[in-house]
Amino acid sequence: MDGAFTIVVEEPDVGQRLDAVVARHVPDCSRSLAVELITAHRILVDRQPKKPGYRTKAGDRIQGCIPIPEPIEYPPQPIPLNILHQDESIIVIDKQPGLVVHPAPGHSRGTLVNALLYHCPDLGAIGGEIRPGIVHRLDKDTSGIMVVAKQAAAQEELARQFKDREIRKTYLALVYGEVRPASGEITSPIGRHPTDRKRMSTTTRKGRDAETLWQVRERLNGITLLELLLKTGRTHQIRVHCTSIGYPVVGDPVYRPRKLSRRIDELLSVHPRRVMDSVKSTDRQMLHAWQLSLVHPQHGRKMTFEAPLPEDMQRLIGKLRGGG
């Protein structure tokens, strides 16, 4: 049976939006789900349909039902996870490279979602179906910090913080070239590539605003270690922005310029051949989500999490430091 409920409006809910009142009083009902159900006339006020923005009055009788969670579609799998923090509202992980975040059609196994369902079986029902509360993503071959909501209210609050750009995301990346000056800003809009729909680009006519702040952490004779702060969260933002200014991310097969192969030997000429070969054989983009700062959705305290560089990036940096 669906989760039927009745709310009689009293202070302090008088004059509030209907969707907000429902989300506040009904467990595991997010604001977005409330909007969906109100619009579908599955939530009524005094047996009359209203809009989500209807301002409630004292004595209004709000009635409706929340659909029961749909059967889980993806099997839990004992995939190792490096859990940095966990409480009743959120779980913070250091995602390993090579792990896809969410299942796709035909690929229901081997993802972060499958791992979360195994390591954290108490994930709440969010949005009317049982699924981990993914509020942001990392590319398959990008490593580092991710936060996942465990409750509907936490998901909604974290989604708001991401939307309002209140969450601070800092990355580390190895890029080709000796980046100069020591710091800078990239503000080129990002949108779908005009001819390759699987890629993003700064040359599209319909780009969305994007802002990346960067500073040099270390120059490694033809390769630079950058620290990058994302002010926005566009798809492939760092990879696209770095390529746009002439410093593509090491190991990135998608945004690597065609002419780059000719430059690599020149860029790395000071290093021994074994170091050059290590750089050339890198099989994933050397990009790591290093730090993430947020306001905890339950107790309101600011929290900062940090994930150390993964072993493959550490090894490559060590070789570059010792090779010239």
pLDDT confidence of residue 70: 60
pLDDT per position as a tens digit, 36-78 = 999 999 999 999 999 999 999 999 999 999 887 665 567 889 9
Return the CATH number of the domain spanning residue range 72-164.
3.30.2350.10
What is the DSSP code (8-state) at residue 74?
S
User: Coil, strand or helix: which one is 19?
Assistant: helix
Q: How confident is the model at residue 282 (pLDDT cuts 50, 70, 90)?
A: very high
Higher pLDDT, 195 or 305: 305
pLDDT per position as a tens digit, 125-138 = 564 444 578 899 99
Say if strands 287-295 and 143-149 run parallel, antiparallel, or are unpaired: parallel
pLDDT per position as a tens digit, 225-247 = 999 999 999 999 999 999 999 99
With 70 as the cut, is the pLDDT of residue 210 above it? yes
Look at 106-110, 147-151, 190-194 and tell me which has the smallest mean pLDDT: 106-110
Mean pLDDT of 185-210: 89
Please name which of 179, 135, 306, 167 lies closest in space to residue 231, comparing C-alpha atoms: 167
CB atoms within 10 A of CB 57: 12
Mean pLDDT of 83-104: 92
Look at 16-25, 259-268, 301-310 and tell me which has the smallest mean pLDDT: 259-268
Residue ranges of alpha helices (H) inside 57-188 are: 112-119, 152-163
Look at 84-93, 153-162, 261-270 and tell me which has the smallest mean pLDDT: 261-270
pLDDT confidence of residue 30: 82
Q: Are 166 and 295 in contact (CB under 8 A)?
A: yes
Query: Which residue is catalytic, options 13, 60, 139, 252?
Result: 139
pLDDT confidence of residue 206: 82
State the pTM of this model: 0.77
pLDDT confidence of residue 69: 61
Q: Homologous superfamily of 169-289+315-322 in CATH?
A: Pseudouridine synthase (3.30.2350.10)
pLDDT confidence of residue 129: 46
- Tokens at residue 94, please? 């250091």
Look at 74-83, 102-111, 211-220 and tell me which has the smallest mean pLDDT: 102-111
pLDDT confidence of residue 123: 72
Return the CATH number of the domain spanning residue range 3-66.
3.10.290.10
Same fold yes or no, 72-164 and 169-289+315-322: yes
With 80 as the cut, is the pLDDT of residue 168 above it? yes
DSSP codes, 81-108: -EEEEE-SSEEEEEEPTT-BSS-BTTB-
Confirm whether 252 is a catalytic residue. no
User: Coil, strand or helix: which one is 22?
Assistant: helix
Contacts of residue 112, Cβ cutoff 8 Å, sequence gap at least 6: 79, 81, 93, 95, 99, 100, 101, 102, 132, 134, 146
Residue ranges of the domains in the chain? Answer: 3-66, 72-164, 169-289+315-322
pLDDT confidence of residue 131: 57
